[in-house]
Amino acid sequence: MQGEGHFTGTPAVFVRFAGCNLRCWFCDTDFENGQELSEDEIVEAVLQYPTRYVVITGGEPTLQLTASLCDKLHAQGRYLMMETNGTRPLPEGCQVDWITCSPKLTPSLLKKDGMGLPIGHIDELKVVFEDSESQDIALYEQIPASEYRLQPCDTQDPQRNQEIIDKTINYILQHPQWKLSLQTHKILGVR
Ligand code: SF4
């Protein structure tokens, strides 16, 4: 079940690529370990599920995604959604139907690059919110995207998490171009 962002509540198959080019302190994904599969084996595994939605994620999926894997999944009628940190362009020839970018670079680094992200086209910008005093959220608004979402950071500390949720909601109420994204799979205990 996709637990967060625009497609929250949508049944989806997750293709999780091992490896990431960043090391975020709040990362909740084991992206080091994995099983080596051919493209055909990935397609075969995806086809075991009836949903047409496939989430290409990681780690950082642009490190490994190929045009031929996208084509094979499309040929099976699958809709491809990607979750990326935005620091790399889409590999050549890859066709993805929906791109969610969760930029992990600090706003000052983003600003240095003129607010452009190598990934290029973004459907949904999802920013992990910790604190509007230390994060200049307005800078993220300069990144072109169709939808803007703030997602409270999960610190694993319930008290700190509640403070962050309250701050996130307050920020959104004051800046209504943003919508709330919750990690509903964690709330529901769904893996
Ligand atoms: S970019 Fe994503 S997968 Fe990579 S370290 Fe950061 S949170 Fe984890």
Question: Has residue 159 got a pLDDT over 60?
Answer: yes
Can you give the pLDDT at residue 96? 98
Q: Beta 53-57 vs 124-129: how paired, if at all?
A: unpaired
> For the chain, how long is the longest CA-to-CA vector?
48
Taking the C-alpha atoms of 157, 31, 19 and 11 in order, what is their torsion angle to the nearest 10 degrees? -100
Can you give the pLDDT at residue 71? 98
**Residue corresponding to tokens 């075969």:** 44
What atom in ligand 1 is closest to the CA of residue 20?
Answer: 4
Closest CA to 19 of 76, 65, 72, 58: 58
- Is 17 assigned a catalytic role? no
- The residues pairing with 151 across neighbouring beta strands, listed in sequence order, are 128
| Burial call 145-164: b when 16+ CB within 10 Å, e when fewer | bebbbbbbbeeeeeeeeeeb
Q: Which of the listed residues 16, 25, 28, 85 should we mutate to test ligand 1's pocket, taking the one with most ligand atoms within 8 A of CB?
A: 85
Amino acid at 181: S
Cis peptide preceding 189, ω within 30 of 0: no
More confident residue, 41 or 155: 41
Q: Which of the listed residues 25, 29, 88 should we mutate to test ligand 1's pocket, taking the one with most ligand atoms within 8 A of CB?
A: 29
Tens digits of per-residue pLDDT, 71-89?
Answer: 999 999 999 999 999 999 9
Domains contained in the chain, CATH given? 13-188 (3.20.20.70)
Tens digits of per-residue pLDDT, 110-154?
Answer: 665 556 788 889 999 999 998 766 678 888 888 899 999 999 998
Query: Do 54 and 15 touch, CB atoms closer than 8 A?
Result: yes
